[in-house]
Structure 1
Amino acid sequence: MADPPMALPPAFLDELRARTPLPGLIGRKTRLLKSGRNWKGCCPFHGEKTPSFYVYDDHFHCFGCGAHGDAITFVMRAEGAAFPEAVERLAAEAGLDVPKPSPQEAARERRARDLHAVMAAAAEAYHRRLFLPEGRPALDYLLRRGLTEATIRAFMLGWAPSGRGAIAADLRPEDISEEQMLEAGLLRAGEAGDPPRDFFYARVMFPIRDRRGRVIAFGGRILGDGQPKYVNSPETPLFRKRMSLYGLDLAREGAFRGAPVVAVEGYMDVIALHQAGFTGTVAPLGTALTPEQLEELWRLNPEPVLCFDGDAAGARAAARAAETALPLITTERTLRFATLPAGEDPDTLTARGGRAAFQSVLDAAQPMAEALYGLVAEGRPAATPEQRAALRNRLAGAAGAIPDKALAAEYRRVLLDRFFAASRPAAKGGRPAPRRAARPAITAGPVLAERARMLLAILLRHPWLLAQAEEAVGLLDLPDGPPAQLRAAILAWHGGTERVDSEGLIAHLAQTGLEDAAAWALSPAGLPAAARPEALPGEVDEGFWHFFARLGGESGLREQQQEALTALIETNDPAAELRLKRLSEQLEAVRRGDEAAGTAGDAA
């Protein structure tokens, strides 16, 4: 891809390319089909019947005519646009303002090109010193960490000596000025009139490269126990920490060849995993993952793995990453979370157990929907009603951060399913739930499903009941299929809606693919009076608790009665008092064998 014929900041052009998905752009001109993780189709630039035109994450290539380039090149070739016109069109679609060309911008672009040459020369100088006698302690350190010489050379690792003025002495023969070294972050300005001094000294050097393989910064690790252990280059015209990932250029190649994309914590983790064959590995630069870094990961793979230490700090880092990612995930891109064994990091794990040890960590990675509950609930007690309500609000808030409403609803359903399952007595303090009385075999089939239908129909027509009965409904054992699906969707909706009305609930179910299940529940045959829209509140209340009793059985009612009593004692909440009253009435009716408790009737 040639340099642009107009002076625009390289960072702007990189962002423009990142915001322009190539399959969507090129798919307007030729039909593309998925081919593994890439796309292929017939070349739009020459007539062909057998597809030889391939679209990758950031470029296209035709193996027939040799056409090759990025999004800007494609618009120029496909539409006959000049470079400025192609940039303007793509920027308008991406919502970006094109910086105005100016002599200052042209000069800045020339300086950036010059700075890339400066950084390349510095990387060579540091690397060369690693293999001199002065760099022997650093080389021995890397070898002791299990790195081979081939790996050390592939990552261009180096050594910044302790003597001041070393990098300036190395680069002066290359006609690199002190001003350029200051702008590149290789020198720092002196204080009180002192001359500039080396930014890095007495450190093992890790060149940081952009996605095109150009050195843009360095990380330096001290030998021994000094602090800070790691230092990164300052922000420069080439380097913005939040936009960069260590190992990105090599990970692009690894991901293209099918390697899993994994984000770990540090430089040595990345290098050790690449050496072990995990060539899609990257790391942020000593900070929590940023939205920009997540975007880079998704350009490599729609479901990258975030790998964290198995300690409290690792759990906090995973929770922060999830919080950052939730507003960005879609049905097309998400994350998986992997946890290392306690006391291990990737390089120690692979050193002891080889490739198979880390592969087992990746195999155990959880999809985000599964991992999120633990990340939100970790270390938060849920013993009292107040604590449970606070946790439920946090779970609903996590799901609500997802912009896609259908996806957010699915996350609410999954999270609240876990919440209500964890609230059951069997999950509290590890105590087993009281054994329920055996039910007649007939209730395990159509009769039980029909009773569940009655209860759900009453809820669909009168969701205001959930204010007092939400937790009771969550604890019921309902048949799999439509009953369980409807219950989960109703509870998820109630946890995230501001307006509780039947029309809104039924519309929500239609939007989430449960229209048929709702129609099943509301089919007129045998519905009780309590499920009619015009039913009076007292009639609705009695009908609901009647069917609740028929579904829960005596043992289940006793458990819930005790739960309601505990809640009333702890909170003195009128809703808990009403729930206790209804449960006690239904329990008494069941004990009397009164099949027609309440006035609603039982169509089952």
Structure 2
Amino acid sequence: EAVEKLARDVGLEMPTQSPGEAREYRKRATLIDWVEKACLFFEDQLRKSAGSEAREYLQKRGFGLETWTRHRMGFAPDGWRTLSDHLTKQGATVAELIEAGLLVQPEDGKQPWDRFRNRVIFPITDHSNRPIAFGARTLDPDGKPKYLNSSDSPLFHKGRTLYRYMDAREALAPIKEGPLSRGLIVTEGYVDAIALAEAGIGTAVAPLGTALTEEQLDLLWRAGPEPILCFDGDAAGIRAAWRACDRALPLIEPGKTLFFVLLPDGMDPDDVVRVRGPQMMRDMLTTARPLVDLLWARELESEPLDTPERKAGFEARLMAAVNLIKHPGVKKAYERELKDRLYWHFRPVKPAFAPSQGKWQGKPGEVPHKGQNPGKRGFSPGPTGISGLALLVRAIMVPDRFEAAREALAKTEYGDPDVGAIRDAAFDVYESAEKLDLDTVAAHLRILDRKRAVELLEPFLRRQ
């Protein structure tokens, strides 16, 4: 349809459709029309006397009339064929309504019934923002399942769709700087996505009752390179974060990674917005942690590291996860980063400060932080000298010069570990046969959350 509109706008003729293609197009258009009419019916029911309990539920969640209208919320009455009767009177066939996912055909061959009954309705839209399916929350305290989606249909596949996707992309477009400019925010459900949107964080989306799929990750990365996945901090939320981590590892590459927020005290985004306010939610999102941090924390916390065998198992699990990464440059970068962390975590006990060396030598397992110099590599310290940075950047900008100086660069001991991190990222790019330039090196550093190293490159990036 988009191609047809574009062709009309520029005065071109579309290729002739085959009879089969024309039939398929007409069928799809008919199903979309019935889903739209169902959406209008649900919206109308929410505002009638039958929708009083649904209105009360939404108002308790902080959603008033303007919010219902903006997100086209509705109510499905508690009748077996209320929607079916309404749409068949307008000309729909029962077969069309079953195919559109609006009715359920029982296996015993009895008369179909409405899929949604006594539920609050949330329309799910396509890339043209047309309703193609529905999510629904039961109002019955004992109702199962609590949340129910339309069945898969010619219009809708739950593993290939994200709730609020096009609205969130439109909200992301004008955000030009800061952590929230680099991707969409993924919540666990429609109510959380709506709560963030109503709090002014309009880039929120939600999957539809399943763990994130490869198709949904691809949708996220089309919108921005670093989506933020926001999970409840309870056991179920942490497991969901781990599943997302495992699903993403084979797919990450420069310009495609994930960041994570695990919310405190078992709260979800809707709770945080209502109890602590939108600014607290923004603060949490801006301090999201990179995928490499989640991987490290998961394996670190899986068992005590009190024997050589358990320590070896910890390293083996980390390296097994790294082996899932298909992109050679990112794989090398992860291996280097995690081996650095292993070194710092298990380094021998030494005095906290050695005046003659001027280097931080803290307690085992303690992570260096700003203002502490961890040596050649490791976590980014505060500002230090940046000797050698300009020469390194010039070599990266001229690949022939980098090739000629490769051995000397590899042996160089930089006083600032973030300059060393830039050098290491450049070698990862070079050895993976990617195009060596400052943008690609910066992308590698962002994957590892080496923020200060990226900041050191920014003046040179602006001059390009």
Q: What TM-score results when the alignment is normalised by the length of structure 1?
A: 0.57
Q: Whole-Å Cα distance in 2 between the matches of residues 519 and 437 of structure 1?
A: 26
Q: Could you say which residue in structure 2 is the equivalent of 1:373?
A: 296
1:518 maps to 2:441: no
Q: 1:201 aligns with which of 111, 117, 122?
A: 117
Q: Whole-Å Cα distance in 2 between the matches of residues 323 and 139 of structure 1?
A: 39
Q: CA shift at 1:403, angstroms?
A: 2.2
1:290-305 equivalence runs, <5 A: 290-305=213-228
| Unaligned stretches of 5+ residues in structure 1 | 5-67, 86-100, 426-432, 446-478, 486-509, 522-604
Contact in 2 for aligned 1:205/1:219 (Cα 8 Å): yes
Where 2:253 maps in the other structure, the secondary structure is coil
Q: CA shift at 1:362, angstroms?
A: 0.5
Q: Could you say which residue in structure 2 is the equivalent of 1:280?
A: 203
The structure-2 alpha-carbon separation of the partners of 1:444 and 1:251, relative to structure 1 and needing over 3 Å to count, comes to closer
Q: Whole-Å Cα distance in 2 between the matches of residues 121 and 437 of structure 1?
A: 72
1:333-412 equivalence runs, <5 A: 333-412=256-335
Where 1:307 maps in the other structure, the secondary structure is strand
Q: Could you say which residue in structure 2 is the equivalent of 1:241?
A: 158
Q: CA shift at 1:163, angstroms?
A: 1.4
Amino acid at match of 1:171: L
Q: Whole-Å Cα distance in 2 between the matches of residues 411 and 160 of structure 1?
A: 49
Q: CA shift at 1:115, angstroms?
A: 0.7
Q: Whole-Å Cα distance in 2 between the matches of residues 206 and 164 of structure 1?
A: 19
The structure-2 alpha-carbon separation of the partners of 1:515 and 1:397, relative to structure 1 and needing over 3 Å to count, comes to farther
Amino acid at match of 1:279: G
| Unaligned stretches of 5+ residues in structure 2 | 360-372, 379-401, 414-464
Q: 1:119 aligns with which of 35, 39, 61?
A: 35
Q: Structure 1 vs Structure 2: percent identity of aligned residues?
A: 39
Where 2:86 maps in the other structure, the secondary structure is helix
Q: 1:172 aligns with which of 88, 97, 108?
A: 88
Q: 1:140 aligns with which of 56, 63, 70?
A: 56
Q: Could you say which residue in structure 2 is the equivalent of 1:262?
A: 185
Q: Whole-Å Cα distance in 2 between the matches of residues 514 and 365 of structure 1?
A: 35
Q: Whole-Å Cα distance in 2 between the matches of residues 421 and 520 of structure 1?
A: 21
Q: Whole-Å Cα distance in 1 between the matches of residues 278 and 20 of structure 2?
A: 51
The structure-2 alpha-carbon separation of the partners of 1:142 and 1:296, relative to structure 1 and needing over 3 Å to count, comes to same
Structure of greater Rg: 1
Q: Whole-Å Cα distance in 2 between the matches of residues 366 and 437 of structure 1?
A: 29
Q: CA shift at 1:434, angstroms?
A: 5.8
Q: Could you say which residue in structure 2 is the equivalent of 1:308?
A: 231
The structure with higher relative contact order (CA 8 Å, sep 6+) is 2
Contact in 1 for aligned 2:252/2:330 (Cα 8 Å): no
Contact in 2 for aligned 1:315/1:375 (Cα 8 Å): no
Q: Whole-Å Cα distance in 2 between the matches of residues 379 and 337 of structure 1?
A: 19
Q: Whole-Å Cα distance in 2 between the matches of residues 355 and 437 of structure 1?
A: 42
Q: Deviations over 1:153-181 (max 9, x none)?
A: 11111111111210012212321121111
Contact in 1 for aligned 2:250/2:326 (Cα 8 Å): yes
Q: CA shift at 1:256, angstroms?
A: 1.6
Q: Deviations over 1:235-280 (max 9, x none)?
A: 1001111100011121121112226520000111011111000101
Q: Deviations over 1:296-338 (max 9, x none)?
A: 1111111110011112222211111111111211112221111
The structure-2 alpha-carbon separation of the partners of 1:335 and 1:438, relative to structure 1 and needing over 3 Å to count, comes to closer
Contact in 2 for aligned 1:318/1:375 (Cα 8 Å): no
Amino acid at match of 2:145: P
Amino acid at match of 1:161: P
Q: CA shift at 1:424, angstroms?
A: 3.4
Contact in 2 for aligned 1:165/1:197 (Cα 8 Å): yes
Q: Whole-Å Cα distance in 1 between the matches of residues 144 and 374 of structure 2?
A: 58
Amino acid at match of 2:29: R
Where 2:250 maps in the other structure, the secondary structure is coil
Contact in 2 for aligned 1:245/1:282 (Cα 8 Å): yes
Q: 1:159 aligns with which of 45, 50, 75?
A: 75
Amino acid at match of 2:73: L
Q: 1:319 aligns with which of 238, 242, 250?
A: 242
Q: Could you say which residue in structure 1 is the equivalent of 2:25?
A: 109
1:184 maps to 2:76: no
Q: What TM-score results when the alignment is normalised by the length of structure 2?
A: 0.73
Contact in 1 for aligned 2:228/2:288 (Cα 8 Å): yes
Contact in 1 for aligned 2:158/2:208 (Cα 8 Å): yes
Q: CA shift at 1:128, angstroms?
A: 0.5
Q: Could you say which residue in structure 2 is the equivalent of 1:28?
A: none
Q: Deviations over 1:174-217 (max 9, x none)?
A: 21121111110111113433211111111111111112101111
Q: CA shift at 1:480, angstroms?
A: 6.4
Q: RMSD over aligned Cα, in angstroms? A: 2.9
The structure-2 alpha-carbon separation of the partners of 1:385 and 1:82, relative to structure 1 and needing over 3 Å to count, comes to farther
Amino acid at match of 1:194: K
Where 2:277 maps in the other structure, the secondary structure is helix
Q: CA shift at 1:343, angstroms?
A: 2.0
Q: Whole-Å Cα distance in 1 between the matches of residues 75 and 102 of structure 2?
A: 13
Q: CA shift at 1:378, angstroms?
A: 3.2
Q: Deviations over 1:356-382 (max 9, x none)?
A: 121121022012233331134332332
